[in-house]
């Protein structure tokens, strides 16, 4: 079980609990604004962009090559950006804070 | 005390378009009822993986749903699954269900999608284990059939994306697969010859036999298997037949209701049909694309999702209009193909190769205008192509072709 906190572009803070699956699926299931996951989680659409709180990057790790390339679709991407379909929910993610990209 | 009656939005079709429209309506602030209808009894699921990862995995369809059952409850979206809508009465603002029940609506969204074409080939209707691939039920039948077959000989009719993805997946499941394509090359309708050659070779390397110029004339039915017969006299034994020769738009409900139809249900830039309070979204629509300046019909998740948001906004009084660049993807074996834009009308292609094996991109131009990009194992080319098409950036074709330079927007832009 991991507690995952989303901060939306409206500055709404929502904490969810997940046990398995991707962070994107958890967000979509709970209607987190700004996370669409249109491609179903195969790193093809870049509609699940989040910024990891810098001090929490150790929990998530950094983006893979294809993920980094896809993130370039968004001018707002930075070194803390991830596509959250690529974040698998495990204990390691517990307490992570993710700011949903605009 | 008087009670104000809540407005009702009925959505026919609960796949990518319908489900996203329902959730978009809530995000737009729709306070009325939302009733989703679909003849498919299964909780709405992601369709693209059906021919790809889902076909080869042991996961149940519950691992592949668009949203969990609870999330519909949470958003107060009523799912009516396994329920077929048989008529729309636009004047009365009602629909009729299969059992004769009438349901009234204030706003109606048609997300009726499309169904596979079953060509009139002699013996196909009575063939053993012959399936199209569009629904979870089709996949369940295909998996069951493959597991039950000792020889696992599969003939795929049609070398389009569905046929090729299914061929790759079934090969992974241990099948012996032959793909029969009528045209002189696979993917002829959608890609340049360079792409067709690449995928032809890819399938060959993976042990799938792809045969072009093959017109299937009949299926001979035996006890447990079939023989697929072509007009040139060639014969292919098949324990299973996969039919992937295209789709037909589910336009009949709209047509009978007097809604304007051309190559699909005609909608304006707000996804509105010729009836003011009836919208249509996704594969079933014939819509105008401002970037390409023409009416098109698209079979894609992107179009379904984007139109669903436009329709939801319009229903809630918003002013959003449809203006997007289409994108698609396909996974075959370990190859990831990403496509952006529409190549139709191209006069020239530039093939850009990268240093890595099996990584390249095909850029389609009409004179100097970039129309579309097909990127193979190359998300960077896909992203750059998307930006260049959207922003109408002029590309220097020689710089693009020169694979000694790093692929970046700065290095390929025309001076």
Provide DSSP, B373-405.
Answer: EEEES-HHHHHHHHHHHHTT--B-HHHHH-TTS
* pLDDT over 70 at B2, yes or no: no
List b or e across B302-331, with b for residues whose CB sees 16 or more CB atoms inside 10 angstroms. Answer: bbbbbbbbbbbbbbbeeebebebbbbbbbb
Question: Would you give the distance in Å from CA A7 to the centre of its chain?
Answer: 11
Residues of chain B contacting A29 with CB distance shorter than 8 Å: 67-68, 70-71
From the list B46, B379, B386, the residue facing A40 with the nearest CB is B46
Cβ pair B71:A33 closer than 8 A: no
pLDDT given at position B80: 98
From the list B26, B67, B331, the residue facing A28 with the nearest CB is B67
* pLDDT over 90 at A80, yes or no: yes
Rounded to whole angstroms, how far apart are CA atoms B113 and B189?
Answer: 20
Q: What percent of chain B has pLDDT over 90?
A: 93
Tokens describing residue A81: 């950006």
State the residue for tokens 């319908």.
B18
Rounded to whole angstroms, how far apart are CA atoms B35 and B316?
Answer: 16
In angstroms, what separates the C-alpha of A26 from chain B's closest C-alpha?
9
Neighbour tally for B125: CB within 10 Å: 11
Query: Considering the entire predicted model, what is its pTM?
Result: 0.95
pLDDT band at B1 (very low <50, low <70, confident <90, very high): very low
Rounded to whole angstroms, how far apart are CA atoms A38 and B142?
Answer: 26
Model confidence over A27-70: pLDDT tens digits? 999 989 999 998 889 999 999 999 999 999 999 999 999 999 99
Model confidence over B373-384: pLDDT tens digits? 999 999 999 999
Distance from the first to the final alpha carbon of chain A: 28
Cβ pair B329:A30 closer than 8 A: no
Complex confidence, ipTM: 0.92
From the list A31, A40, A66, the residue facing B23 with the nearest CB is A31
Residues of chain A contacting B282 with CB distance shorter than 8 Å: none
In angstroms, what separates the C-alpha of B43 from chain A's closest C-alpha?
13
Q: Of B8, B31, B6, B25, which is closest to residue B281 (Cα–Cα)?
A: B25
Query: What integer is the mean pLDDT of B211-222?
Result: 96
pLDDT given at position B3: 59
In B370-399, the residues whose Cβ lies within 8 Å of chain A are 379-380, 382-383, 386-387
Rounded to whole angstroms, how far apart are CA atoms A47 and A24?
Answer: 9
| Mean pLDDT taken over chain A | 94
Residues of chain B contacting A17 with CB distance shorter than 8 Å: none
Pairing of β B278-280 and β B261-262:
unpaired
| Best residue of A27, A30, A39, A83 to probe chain B, by most B CBs closer than 10 Å | A39
């Amino acid at each position: 079980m991991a507690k995952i906190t989303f901060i939306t572009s409206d500055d709404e803070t929502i904490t969810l609990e997940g046990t398995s699956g991707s962070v994107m699926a958890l967000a979509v299931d709970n209607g987190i604004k700004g996370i669409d996951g249109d491609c179903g989680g195969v790193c093809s659409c870049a509609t699940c962009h989040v910024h990891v709180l810098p001090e929490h990057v150790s929990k998530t790790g950094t983006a893979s090559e294809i993920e980094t390339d896809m993130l370039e679709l968004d001018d707002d991407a930075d070194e803390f950006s991830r596509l959250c379909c690529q974040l698998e929910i495990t204990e390691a993610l517990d307490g992570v804070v993710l700011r949903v990209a605009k | 005390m008087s009670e104000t009656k809540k407005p009702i939005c009925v959505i026919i079709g609960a796949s990518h378009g319908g489900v996203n429209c329902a959730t978009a309506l809530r995000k737009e602030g729709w306070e009325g009822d939302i009733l989703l209808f679909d003849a498919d009894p299964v909780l709405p699921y992601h369709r693209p993986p059906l021919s790809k990862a889902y076909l080869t995995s042991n996961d149940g369809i519950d691992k592949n749903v668009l949203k969990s059952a609870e999330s519909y409850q949470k958003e107060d979206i009523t799912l009516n699954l396994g329920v077929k809508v048989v008529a729309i009465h636009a004047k009365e603002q009602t629909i009729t269900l299969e059992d004769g029940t009438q349901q009234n609506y204030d706003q109606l969204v048609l997300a009726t999608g499309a169904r596979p074409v079953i060509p009139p080939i002699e013996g196909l209707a009575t063939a053993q284990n012959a399936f199209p691939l569009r629904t979870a039920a089709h996949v369940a039948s295909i998996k069951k059939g493959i597991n039950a077959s000792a020889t696992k000989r599969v003939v795929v009719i049609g070398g389009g994306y569905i046929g090729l993805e299914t061929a790759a997946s079934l090969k992974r499941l241990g099948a012996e697969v032959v793909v029969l394509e009528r045209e002189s090359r696979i993917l002829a309708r959608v890609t340049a010859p360079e792409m067709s050659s690449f995928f032809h070779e890819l399938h060959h390397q993976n042990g799938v036999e792809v045969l072009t110029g093959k017109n299937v004339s009949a299926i001979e039915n035996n006890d447990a298997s079939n023989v697929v017969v072509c007009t040139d006299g060639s014969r292919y034994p098949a324990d299973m037949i996969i039919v992937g020769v295209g789709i037909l738009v589910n336009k009949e409900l709209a047509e009978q209701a007097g809604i304007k139809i051309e190559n699909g249900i005609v909608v304006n830039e707000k996804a509105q049909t010729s009836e003011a309070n009836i919208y249509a979204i996704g594969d079933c629509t014939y819509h105008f694309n401002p970037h390409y300046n023409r009416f098109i019909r698209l079979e894609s998740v992107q179009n379904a999702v984007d139109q669903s948001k436009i329709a939801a906004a319009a229903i809630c009084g918003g002013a959003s209009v449809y203006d997007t660049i289409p994108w698609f993807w396909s996974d075959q074996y370990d190859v990831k193909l990403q496509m952006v834009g529409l190549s139709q009308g191209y006069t020239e292609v530039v093939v850009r190769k990268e240093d890595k094996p099996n990584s390249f991109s095909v850029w389609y131009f009409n004179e100097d205008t970039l129309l579309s990009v097909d990127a193979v194992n190359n998300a960077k080319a896909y992203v750059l192509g998307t930006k260049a098409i959207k922003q109408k950036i002029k590309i220097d074709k020689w710089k693009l072709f020169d694979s000694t330079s790093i692929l970046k927007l700065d290095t390929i832009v025309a001076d």
